[in-house]
Chains A and B, each alone.
Chain A
Amino acid sequence: MKTMDLRYAKLTLSAVLKAVVLMIFVFPFLWMVSTSLQTLQETTTVPPTFVPAVPQWNNFVHAMQAGPFLTYARNSVVVTAAILVIQFVVMIPAAYAFAKYRFAGHRLLFGLVLLAFMIPGQVTFIPVYLMLADWGWIDTLLPQIVPFLANAFGIFLLRQYFMQIPEELVESARLDNASEFKIIWKLMTPMSRPALATIALFSFVSHWNEYFWPLIMTNSNSVRPLTLGIAMLRETEGITNWHIVMAGNVVLVIPILIAYAFCSKWIVKAFVYSGIK
């Protein structure tokens, strides 16, 4: 009996701990959704309101009508999609070369890739800004895309993944008269779906949520992304419109949730991956 009791106690404890951790992560989301449905008054009352008296669906309409919302959304989509597509075009062959070729200087070059992903972005902000300003790119979409075309972390992660793929598969494909492009496209890429999904999701989230860089690179609404647009909802007539800001944020987060729902199966695979048999 005692061992049974101990087992139940352990199970209960583990369930409680899981629930606590879950709440820590989920609470900000719930708070955001709740605030997005409140009136301005409800957002400022003490103690705070959690369930709005009447859900204010209009907040979403306000958020979208407060500025050129469609322009912001289009900019976000264009910037993020362009970055993702080009990152993959650059990253997959680079990772393949680092994983499967022994060319002169491959160690040095890979070291440079690692260096690129170790240097904090803040260090390079000013020189990159000055350079792009010199090129006359400020206030276009280009500076939001071009500096992010090579994903050093992605190259590193994908190289590790490619290295686990047995050499014989590549050799077998070569004996099957496959070109290197075909080996990458038909063999390496389908086998690396979990890693690719992980990299895609991380990259998507970080660029979709980019705030600081577009802030300094843009001067007009026509090239601003959603993040800036939503931040600008905050101030009207000296009062912070939290309910509107949160409504905007809910809209901003939805694509990320969809992407996660789509990728999560692969991401789990990427992290529990233990070799191909």
Chain B
Amino acid sequence: MASIVFEQVTKSFDRTAIIRDLDLTIEDGKFTVLVGPSGCGKTTLLRMIAGIGPQTSGRVLIDGKDVSRVAPGQRGVAMVFQNYAIYPTMSVRENIEFGLKNNKVPKEERKRLVESIGETVGLSGLLDRKPSALSGGQRQRVALARAMVKKPSVFLMDEPLSNLDAKLRVQMRVELIELHKKLGTTFVYVTHDQTEAMSMADTIVLMNEGVIQQMSSPAEMYHRPANRFAAEFIGLPPMNIAELGPDGVQLGFRPESAALSEEPLDHHLCIRGVIATREMLGSETIYQVRTDKQAYMVRSAEDRFEVDRPVYVGVPAEKLHFFGADGRRIDERSSDVRWYLEAARGLVYA
């Protein structure tokens, strides 16, 4: 178990800084998910922890120890790669054993460890197979077993589920949560999928263009996004954003916070529009409501509106978010919020 600290870390590729003066503390024993669009620097952070893509400047500390000059194999970390990186010429057993052999673990103990891990991840009967004879899900398990067998203090995972089919992905998500609970080790997980981040994380670190946008629990990030980027990245469909006034303030509401009706609604915000598209997903329906200015997404448990029907979209005051011209969240306790709420009421006639 170990905490990870980044101190004033900069990483450049060919003199272009991808990450600049970043400070971040990843708590001991927590399941931390680094999430963001591709190219945001999340994998770069992970590789710095592993030591396979060291920082250009600054310090990385694992368990309080500066590991900047420690070789990847000596850091006490294990990593699961997106494409699993299983050694194709070695059997499953040899794959799992490779790290132990390099760490000079005696043969008897190796055998015992490999077999017990094989059982844990459900590979018992497959230990002597070559990776080419395994399915995607089984390869994934080999990669996990290979990481687990070393008993690392930090688990690093780089989009480990992205090559699995949707059903298996959901199953593995649950298994990873259970694994984390069982091991109690620090997990650092990289993904671009906000659903994965929301469902698995104790703490989400949301990144964009090498800068941390918000670091908080999934609930906090969903209910109180720190800025427009967070508001639009987390949530599916993303938060609706609309211009509010001349000072660049914007208003936002989640598709699931809005109600739809054929009659004008008594909600704080009430917008009139026409249903442009309708996606029936079974348990819910997602509508796109178009006004003369823009379109809003609305998620509804009911499926009773047809395309081209005029409707009203209503949102209660407590479900409204406000963002300043700089994109940052305007705190609901701020004195300006009352003024913005009034302005939002005015949108009825817009």
Question: Roughly how many angstroms separate A175 CA and B51 CA in the complex, as a whole number?
Answer: 8
Residues 165-192 of A at the B interface (beta carbon under 8 Å)? 166, 168-169, 171-179, 182, 186-187, 190-191
Instruction: Report yes or no: A187 in contact with B85, Cβ–Cβ below 8 A.
Output: no
Question: Roughly how many angstroms separate A187 CA and B101 CA in the complex, as a whole number?
Answer: 14
Q: Does B89 contact A (CB under 8 A)?
A: yes
Instruction: Report yes or no: A191 in contact with B89, Cβ–Cβ below 8 A.
Output: yes
Give min CB distance, B143 to chain A, whole Å.
Answer: 9
Q: Does B229 contact A (CB under 8 A)?
A: no
Question: Roughly how many angstroms separate A168 CA and B52 CA in the complex, as a whole number?
Answer: 9
B74 / chain A contacts, CB cutoff of 8 Å:
177
11 A-B interface contacts by CB (under 8 A): A166-B85, A168-B82, A171-B72, A173-B87, A175-B50, A175-B77, A176-B73, A176-B99, A177-B99, A179-B102, A182-B102
For the complex of A and B, 8 pairs with smallest distance between CB atoms: A177-B73, A176-B99, A168-B85, A172-B85, A190-B89, A177-B102, A171-B52, A174-B72
Indicate with 1 or 0, residue by residue over B77-108, a CB within 8 angstroms of chain A CB atoms.
Answer: 11101110101111000000011001100000
Other CB < 8 Å A-B pairs besides A174-B51, A174-B73, 15 of them? A166-B83, A166-B85, A168-B83, A169-B85, A171-B85, A173-B87, A175-B73, A175-B78, A175-B99, A176-B150, A177-B72, A177-B102, A186-B98, A187-B87, A191-B88
Give min CB distance, B220 to chain A, whole Å.
Answer: 33
Interface size counted on chain B using CB atoms at 8 A? 24
Give min CB distance, B7 to chain A, whole Å.
Answer: 23
Give min CB distance, A200 to chain B, whole Å.
Answer: 18
Question: Roughly how many angstroms separate A190 CA and B87 CA in the complex, as a whole number?
Answer: 10
Q: Does B71 contact A (CB under 8 A)?
A: yes
B87 / chain A contacts, CB cutoff of 8 Å:
169, 172-173, 186-187
Question: Roughly how many angstroms separate A169 CA and B143 CA in the complex, as a whole number?
Answer: 11
Q: Tell me the nearest residue of chain B to A191, going by C-beta.
A: B89
Q: Does A276 contact B (CB under 8 A)?
A: yes
Question: Roughly how many angstroms separate A202 CA and B163 CA in the complex, as a whole number?
Answer: 40
Indicate with 1 or 0, residue by residue over A237-277, a CB within 8 angstroms of chain B CB atoms.
Answer: 00000000000000000000000000000000000000010
Question: Roughly how many angstroms separate A176 CA and B83 CA in the complex, as a whole number?
Answer: 16
Question: Roughly how many angstroms separate A171 CA and B81 CA in the complex, as a whole number?
Answer: 10
- What is the interface of chain B mostly: helix, strand, loop, or mixed? loop
Indicate with 1 or 0, residue by residue over B137-151, a CB within 8 angstroms of chain A CB atoms.
Answer: 000000000100010
Instruction: Report yes or no: A177 in contact with B103, Cβ–Cβ below 8 A.
Output: yes
Interface size counted on chain A using CB atoms at 8 A? 18
Give min CB distance, B55 to chain A, whole Å.
Answer: 16
B51 / chain A contacts, CB cutoff of 8 Å:
174-175
Q: Assuming A168-B81, A171-B72, A172-B81, is B88 touching A178 (CB within 8 A)?
A: no
B102 / chain A contacts, CB cutoff of 8 Å:
176-179, 182
B83 / chain A contacts, CB cutoff of 8 Å:
166, 168
Give min CB distance, A25 to chain B, whole Å.
Answer: 34
A187 / chain B contacts, CB cutoff of 8 Å:
87, 89
A178 / chain B contacts, CB cutoff of 8 Å:
73, 98, 102
Question: Roughly how many angstroms separate A169 CA and B86 CA in the complex, as a whole number?
Answer: 7
> Which of B77, B82, B88, B98 contacts A173 (CB under 8 A)?
B98
- Give the one of B82, B90, B99 with max A CB within 10 A: B99
B89 / chain A contacts, CB cutoff of 8 Å:
187, 190-191
A177 / chain B contacts, CB cutoff of 8 Å:
71-74, 99, 102-103
Question: Roughly how many angstroms separate A187 CA and B103 CA in the complex, as a whole number?
Answer: 17
Q: Assuming A169-B87, A187-B87, is B98 touching A174 (CB within 8 A)?
A: no
Question: Roughly how many angstroms separate A8 CA and B258 CA in the complex, as a whole number?
Answer: 71
B73 / chain A contacts, CB cutoff of 8 Å:
174-178
Q: Tell me the nearest residue of chain B to A175, going by C-beta.
A: B72
Give min CB distance, A172 to chain B, whole Å.
Answer: 4
Question: Roughly how many angstroms separate A184 CA and B301 CA in the complex, as a whole number?
Answer: 58
Give min CB distance, A149 to chain B, whole Å.
Answer: 28
